[in-house]
Amino acid sequence: MNIIQIKEGRTILFVPNFKEYERKGTYVPSQAKVFYNPKMEFCRDIGVLFLREFSKIINQEIIICDPLAGVGSRGIRYANEVKGVKKSIVNDINKDAIPIIIQNIKINNLEGIVEVECKDANLLLIEYAKTKSRFNFIDLDPFGSPIPFITSAIKALKNHGVIAITATDTPALCGIYPKACLRKYGALSIKTDFCHEVGLRVLLSSLVYAAIKEDFGIEVLLSYSTDYYFRAYVQFHLGAKKADNSVSMLGYISYCKNCLWREVFSLYDKLKYTCPFCSKDTYIIGPIWCGPIIKKELVLSLIKEDLSDFNTRKRIEKLLNLLLDEYDMPIYYYLVDDIASKLKVSTPSVQIIIEKLKELGYKASRTHFNPKGIKSNAPYDIITNVIKKLGK
C-alpha cells in the first residue's frame, strides 16, 4: 500500500494515497485496501468542533468510540484535538487498517489515550454495553446505512450520551429507492422537490424507533444534509416520558405530485389523501421527525468558536449560518425552479422571493438543503402567486 502523510485540523495522519483511487475527479475510497476519503474532512472537522462544545457542556472527562474507523481519523482526531477525552476506542474489522491506526496513534503521541481493536463493530459495542464503561460519545460512520449498528451503539451509550451518525445511502432515504427505505428505515419516502429534508427526517425518525425500544428519548443537537450524505448528532435521554415525547415529534407529510402542495400531520392527526388545490390523490411520506433538526443555543455557541484549526472553516460557517436561518421555519422547502416550471414562468431569484414574502408579512428563508430552496410559513397559493408575478 502506498501511504502518504497528511494533516487534518491539528492531527497528522498516515493515509492510503488517495490519488491512486481517483476516477475523473472523484475518489473511490472503497477501492483502497484501507478506507480514507479526503472529501469527508469537512464532516470530521465539524465532528471535532461539536465534541469540543459537548465536552465543555458536560464538563467531565469523556470516553469515546470510533467503531468503524478506517485509518482512525475520527477517534484519533477527537483524542488529539478535544480537551477532556480520557479514552478513545478506535476499531475496524479490516486487519489492514490496524497497522495504519497504530502509526497514527504514535505520530500524534496518543499511546496512553487511544486503544485499538479489530472486531465487528456490533460485537465491540455490546462488550462495552455489558461493563460499566459505556461511552459518552460514539461516532458511527459506516458504508451506507447506519441502521445495523444503531441498537448496539445505544446499548453502549451512557445516559445523556451522544451518537454521531453518518448515512450515505441517500438514494434510499430520499425516496429514489422507496422499497429500500421501507426495508431499512421503516418509512415511506418518495422522490419530491424537498427530498433531502425528507431523507434527514426519515433517518431521525428511525433513531426514535431504535431509542424507544431501549427506553430512551432523543434530542437532536445538530443535523444536516450535504454532498452525498446525512449527518446527525443526537443525544439519548433515558426514561419512558422522554421516549413518549420523542414519539410525539413524529408525523407524516401528505404530498401532491401534480401541483407540489404538501402538509405536515402529527402521528395522531387524520391524514388528507386528496389535494385541496387540484383534487388529485396525494402520497403519504413518513413517519418523519417533525422536531427541530438543530439545538439553536448549541449552534450559536459553535459559530462563536475559533475555527482557525480547520481547513474547511468557511464551509462550516456557511452551513451553521444557514441552519440558524432556517430554524423555526416550516418542515419542508420549495424548489423555486420546480414551481416556476409548473407555472411556466422564468425562475426569479431566491433572494427576491424571500424579500417579497417578508414584505407580505410572512417568514421566509433560504435552506441549507438546497441553494434553490426557500422555506416560508406563507400558504402555498401565496408562494405560487409571488413566483408567478416575479417570474413574468
Ligand X SMILES: C[S@@+](CC[C@H](N)C(=O)[O-])C[C@H]1O[C@@H](n2cnc3c(N)ncnc32)[C@H](O)[C@@H]1O
Q: Measured from the CB of residue 91, what is the shortest distance to ligand X in angstroms? A: 6
Pick from 120, 281, 297, 381 the residue near ligand X by CB under 6 A. 120
What single string gives the DSSP state of each residue in 336-349?
Answer: HHHHHHHHTSPPPP
Residue 23, classified by CB atoms within 10 Å of its CB into exposed (0-12), middle (13-18) or buried (19+), is exposed
Report if residue 69 touches ligand X, rule: CB under 6 A: yes
Cell 448496539 appears where?
152
Is residue 339 part of the contact set for ligand X (CB under 6 A)?
A: no
Considering only 14, 261, 369, 380, the residue that binds Zn ion (CB under 5 A) is 261
Q: State yes or no: residue 273 binds ligand X (CB under 6 A).
A: no
**Region binding ligand X by CB under 6 A among candidate stretches 30-38, 175-183, 327-335, 353-361:** 30-38
Judged by CB under 5 A, the chain residues 213 through 252 that form the site for Zn ion are none
Between 17 and 385, CB nearer to ligand X: 17
* 227 lies in the binding site for ligand X (CB under 6 A): no
Closest CA to 60 of 83, 84, 77, 81: 84
226 binds ligand X (CB under 6 A): no
Lookup: cell for 131: 461493563
Q: Which is nearer to ligand X, 68 or 110 (CB)?
A: 68
Q: What is the three-class DSSP state of 174? A: coil
Using the minimum distance from each CB to ligand X, give the nearer residue, 222 or 243: 222
Of the candidates 279, 275, 288, 320, the residue with the CA atom closest to the CA atom of residue 195: 288
Which of the choices Zn ion, ligand X, none does residue 49 contact, using the CB cut-off of 5 to 8 A by kind? none
Does 78 interact with Zn ion (rule: CB under 5 A)? no
Strand partners, 233: 164, 222
CA atoms within 13 A on the CB side of 63: 12
Give the residue with the Cβ less far from ligand X, 143 or 228: 143
CA-to-CA distance for 130 and 339, rounded, in angstroms? 54
Q: Give the Å distances, CA to CA, from 66 to 72, 157, 201, 218.
A: 8, 13, 24, 20
Residue 299 neighbours by CB under 8 Å, 6+ apart = 222, 320, 323, 324, 327
* Phi, psi angles (nearest 5°) of residue 137: -150, 130
Instruction: Find the part of the chain contacting ligand X (CB under 6 A) among 50-58, 139-147, 330-338, 372-380.
Output: 139-147
How far CA 269 is from CA of 62, 252, 254, 263, 359, in Å, comes to 42, 9, 12, 12, 32
Cβ closest to ligand X, residue 157 vs residue 165? 165
Specify the 3-state DSSP secondary structure of 290.
coil
Of the candidates 80, 97, 79, the residue with the CA atom closest to the CA atom of residue 89: 79
54 or 255, CB closer to Zn ion? Answer: 255
**According to the binding rule CB under 6 A, does residue 294 interact with ligand X?**
no
Q: Take residue 331 and report the three cell numbers written for it.
A: 418542515
Binding mask 74-93 for ligand X (x = CB under 6 A): x-----------------xx
Assess 35 for contact with ligand X (CB under 6 A): yes
Question: Residue 41, interface with ligand X (CB under 6 A)?
Answer: no
Nearer to ligand X, 142 or 391 (CB): 142
CB of 92 to ligand X, least distance (A): 5
Q: Does 264 bind Zn ion (CB under 5 A)?
A: no
Q: Per rule CB under 5 A, is residue 327 in the interface with Zn ion?
A: no
Task: Give which of ligand X, Zn ion, none residue 73 binds (C-beta under 5 to 8 Å, depending on kind).
Answer: ligand X
The span of 37-45, 129-137, 260-268, 288-296 binding Zn ion (CB under 5 A) equals 260-268
Binding site for Zn ion (CB under 5 A): 256, 258-259, 261, 275, 277-278
